[in-house]
Amino acid sequence: MTFSARHLLGIEPLSQADILSILDLADTYVALNRGAEKHGDALAGMTQVNMFFEASTRTQASFELAGKRLGADVMSMAMQASSIKKGETLIDTAMTLNAMHPDLLVVRHPHSGAVNLLAEKVNCAVLNAGDGRHEHPTQALLDALTIRREKGRLQRLSIAICGDIAHSRVARSNILLLGKMENRVRLVGPPTLMPAGVADLGVEVFDDMCEGLRDVDVVMMLRLQKERMDGGFIPSEREYYHRYGLDAEKLAFAKDDAIVMHPGPMNRGVEIDGTLADDINRSVIQEQVEMGVAVRMAAMDLLARNQRATAAEGAA
Amino acid sequence: MTTLLKNARLIDPEAGTERTGDLLIRDGAIAAVGGTEAPGGTQVIDCAGKCLAPGIVDIGVKVCEPGERHKESFRTAGLAAAAGGITTMVTRPDTLPAIDSPETLEFVLRRGDAATPVRFKPMAALTKGRAGREMVEIGFLMDAGAVAFTDCDHVVTDPKVFSRALTYARSLGALVIAHPQDPGLTAGAAATSGKFASLRGLPAVSPMAERMGLERDLALVEMTGARYHADQISTARALPALERAKAAGLDVTAGVSIHHLTLNEFDVGDYRTFFKVKPPLRSEDDRLAMVEAVAGGTIDVISSMHTPQDEESKRLPFEEAASGAVALETLLPAALRLYHAGALDLPRLFRALSLNPARRLGLDGGRLAAGAPADLVLFDPDAPFVLDRFKLRSKSKNTPFDGARLQGRVLRSFVGGAEIYRHGD
C-alpha cells in the first residue's frame, strides 16, 4: 500500500500508485458486498460524520452504507438545515464537530475549495464528497474502477466526457485521474459549457458530438443541471438533446464495444436517451453505483489505516 | 533648523539619475541637492551610501474610517505608511458610509490629520453612496480638500450618469479615477479565466472585461475632455487602448497595483484567500506586460491598493472571501523585486511611486529638488528579510507576502523634514 495521505481532497495530489492501491482494495470490497455477510471491521470503533452542505441522496447514501459495512458509527448531517442558517461560519461548524472527535469527516460543499479549507482546521481525516466545481474524487475513482473491470485495463483507452464540463466537478476529477493513468481524454460539449483554458490540461476538445465520439472506448455523460437550460448557456432543452444528447445514432460513432457511463441522477431525454441508459449491453450506470460503495469503503479504510499509523508513531 | 543628509545615493526620478551626494533640508523643504556646505548648527545624518528618494505618494489607500475601524485606523495606517516609506497617503472613499459629502470628508480630515504621522490627502466618491446614480457635490468637496473623485471598485454603469459627472468634473478641473471593468462580465468572478481557474473550479472573468471597461471610459473621456485616471490596469489587452488615448492627447493616466506587478494567478495555489484581490490576479504574461508598461511609461503609477480585511472575512471559501490585501509596508520591498530583476532602475521606479502620482494630483512632492517639500525615504535596497505578517503595523494582517523573502528595507522616513520613522526604533 502506498497511499499514505491524511485526507482525500482531490485526485490532483494522487499518484498512479495511490490510485491503484485504492482500486485494488476496492475490488476486494466488491466481493465482500456481493456476499451474504456484508460486514467488515476496518472502521470498528470509529466515528464517521457526513456533512452535506448541498443536497445529495446518492453520494450520501453511498458513504453512509460504506461506513456502516465497515463497522463505523455513522452520523449524517444535512447542513443546509442546521447552524449555517443561524449564521455560523464553516470554520466554526468544523471546530464544533472536531471537538466531538470524529475520525472521518465526509464533506460536500457548494463552493470550490471549501473542503480544503475545512481540512486545515480539523484533526481527523477529511473526504471530499464534492466541492463546488472543483473535485469529486470518489466519483472519479468509482468511474475508474468500473472502467477497469469492464475493459480489463485503465490505460491507453480513449474516453469521451460529454456535456456540461464547465460546471462539473465530476469532469475535473475524471480528467485528472484518466490523464494520470495515461488515457486519451476527449471533452465534448457546447462551447458555452466548456471551461476556458481547458485544452491546456492535456485533453482534446470537440463541439461536434459525433466527431468527439469517433472510436472511443468509453462514453461518459454528465448531468445537465436544470438551471442551465434556460437559454443562458444553451438555447433550449430540445436543441441540447438534438445536438448533445446520447442516443443510439451518436453512440454508433464510438467503438462497437464502447460502454456508456453516467454519474447520475440522469435527465432522461435531455442528455441521454432512456432506452440506451437501460440497455444492459452498453450502459454500466448500475455498476457505477455498486462500485461507488466499494470505492468509498476502500478510501475510508486506507485513510483510517494512515490515521492509526500516525497515532502509533506519535505514541512510540 | 537645518539637517544635512550626507553621503547618500540620491535617486532623482525627475532627472532620471542616481548619484552619490548630500541633501540639505531647511524649514521642512529641500534646500539643496548635491555637494553643499552646511551652515553651523546643522544636524548631520550620515546615510552611509544608502538610497535617498522622494517619499512615496500612494494613490488608493483604504483606511477603514469611518465604519470599520477594527480593520484599520488612521493611526495604524499612518504608522504602517511611515514604516513603508510612504509619505503621502491618498485615501479611498469606499468606507462605511462612503465619503460623498463635505460633512463626511470633514470628519475624515479631522480624524486623519490628528492621527497620522504622514501626509494624507482624501479622495471623495464620484456618485452619492457610490451607487452610480447622482453625482456628488464635486465643487464643495474640492473646496474641502478632495484631491480626486472615484467610486473605487464600483463601476458607474450608466454612461449618461458617468458622462455628466465627467463633464461637470472637467469644468472644475477635477480628476476622476475609475476602475475599468465591464460589470456584467465581472459579476460573480473570483479569478481570471484560464487553466488555473478551470482547474480550481472557480468562477472566472475574461481579461477582456478590463479592456471593455477601459474602452468605454476612454470614449466618454474623448467626448467630455475630462481628466481621467484608470486606477488599476492589469491585463495586456487593455494597453493598446491606453496607448491610443495618450497618443491622441487625452488627459489620461493609469495605475497598477503592486500585486499585479509581482504576483500571478498561480500564486493563489490551494485557495489562499490572502491572494484574492480585485481585479483578480492575472496570468504571468499579463504580469510581465504590466512590468514592461511601467518601464515604458504607458502605466504611470504604482500603488499599494492597500485594503485591510480581518481574519473572519478572509477565513472563508475562496468565492465567499473578501477581496484585498494590505500593502503599505510591503509596497517598496515588493517593488524592489522589479529592480533586482533588472526590469526597472531606481529613478524609473520612483517615477511611478512618487513623482507621477504627485504630479497627477497636483501635489508638490515626489521630487528631489530644491524647493520641494522634504518628504523623503532612506532605504537599503539590498537588505534581505523574511516577512512576518504579525509584525505589520496595520491592524489587519492580510498580506500575500507572509513568509516571503524580500529585499529592501526602509531605514528612515521624513515628512516636511521631520523624521517620522527610523528602522529599529
Domains and CATH numbers, chain B: 55-360 (3.20.20.140)
Q: Is B126 exposed, middle or buried (0-12, 13-18, 19+ CB in 10 A)?
A: buried
Beta bridge partners of A218: A159, A259
Q: How far is B247 from chain A (nearest CA, A)?
A: 34
Distances (CA, A) of B21 to A6, B11, B24, B44: 60, 10, 10, 13
* Contacting residues of B for A197, CB less than 8 Å apart: 193-198
**Inter-chain CB pairs, A–B, below 8 Å:** 71
Do A131 and B197 lie within an 8 Å CB cutoff? no
C-alpha cell of residue B90: 491618498
Does pLDDT of B345 surpass 90? Answer: yes
Q: Is residue A269 less than 8 Å (CB to CB) from chain B? A: no
Nearest to B198 among A111, A114, A196 (CB): A196
Mean pLDDT score, A290-294: 98
Do B198 and A113 lie within an 8 Å CB cutoff? no
- Is residue A163 within 8 Å of A192, Cβ to Cβ? no
| Closest listed residue to residue B352, CA positions, set B217, B243, B253, B216 | B253
Tell me the residues of B at the A interface, defined by beta carbons under 8 Å apart.
193-204, 206, 270-271, 312, 315-320
* Contacting residues of A for B194, CB less than 8 Å apart: 196-197
CB proximity list for B58: less than 8 A, separation 6 or greater: B81, B86, B88, B89, B90, B303, B304, B306, B328, B331, B353, B357
* B-proximal residues of A, 112-131, CB under 8 Å: 112-114, 116-117, 131
Nearest to B195 among A116, A117, A201 (CB): A201
Nearest to B199 among A116, A132, A201 (CB): A201
Q: Is A210 exposed, middle or buried (0-12, 13-18, 19+ CB in 10 A)?
A: middle
* B-proximal residues of A, 164-183, CB under 8 Å: 169, 172
Q: Which residue of B has its CA nearest to A169?
A: B201
Q: Is A256 exposed, middle or buried (0-12, 13-18, 19+ CB in 10 A)?
A: exposed
Do A113 and B202 lie within an 8 Å CB cutoff? yes
Q: Using CA atoms, how far apart are residues A93 and A78, in angstroms rounded to an integer? A: 13
Q: How far is B199 from chain A (nearest CA, A)?
A: 7
Q: How far is A230 from chain B (nearest CA, A)?
A: 18
Q: Using CA atoms, how far apart are residues B357 and A241, in angstroms rounded to an integer? A: 57
pLDDT band at A229 (very low <50, low <70, confident <90, very high): low
Beta bridge partners of B33: B23
Q: Using CA atoms, how far apart are residues B265 and B276, in angstroms rounded to an integer? A: 9
Chain centroid to CA A119: 18
- Is residue B42 within 8 Å of B3, Cβ to Cβ? yes
| Closest listed residue to residue A106, CA positions, set A177, A174, A8, A33 | A8
Q: Using CA atoms, how far apart are residues B165 and B149, in angstroms rounded to an integer? A: 10
pLDDT value of residue A45: 95
Q: Which residue of A has its CA nearest to B196?
A: A197
pLDDT value of residue A87: 65
Q: Using CA atoms, how far apart are residues A73 and A55, in angstroms rounded to an integer? A: 22
pLDDT value of residue B399: 98
| Closest listed residue to residue A49, CA positions, set A100, A85, A116 | A100
Tell me the ipTM for this assembly.
Answer: 0.88
Q: How far is A199 from chain B (nearest CA, A)?
A: 8
| Closest listed residue to residue B184, CA positions, set B159, B155, B160, B150 | B155
Number of Cβ atoms within 10 Å of the Cβ of A121: 15
Residues of A marked active site are found at 58-59, 86, 108, 136
Does pLDDT of B199 surpass 70? Answer: yes
pTM of the model: 0.93
Q: Using CA atoms, how far apart are residues A78 and A197, in angstroms rounded to an integer? A: 35
DSSP B352: I
Q: How far is B237 from chain A (nearest CA, A)?
A: 17
Q: What is the pLDDT of residues A168-216, one digit of tens each?
A: 999 999 999 999 999 999 999 999 999 998 888 999 999 999 999 999 9
* Contacting residues of A for B270, CB less than 8 Å apart: 113, 116
Do A89 and B194 lie within an 8 Å CB cutoff? no
pLDDT band at B41 (very low <50, low <70, confident <90, very high): confident
Question: A87 or A18, which is more confident?
Answer: A18
Q: What is the pLDDT of residues B120-152, one digit of tens each?
A: 999 999 999 999 999 999 999 999 999 999 999
Does pLDDT of B37 surpass 80? Answer: no
Do B200 and A197 lie within an 8 Å CB cutoff? no
pLDDT value of residue A88: 75
Q: Which residue of B has its CA nearest to A131?
A: B201
Q: Is residue A200 less than 8 Å (CB to CB) from chain B? A: yes
* Contacting residues of B for A109, CB less than 8 Å apart: 317
Q: Is B332 exposed, middle or buried (0-12, 13-18, 19+ CB in 10 A)?
A: buried
pLDDT value of residue B251: 98
Number of Cβ atoms within 10 Å of the Cβ of A48: 26
Do B195 and A114 lie within an 8 Å CB cutoff? no
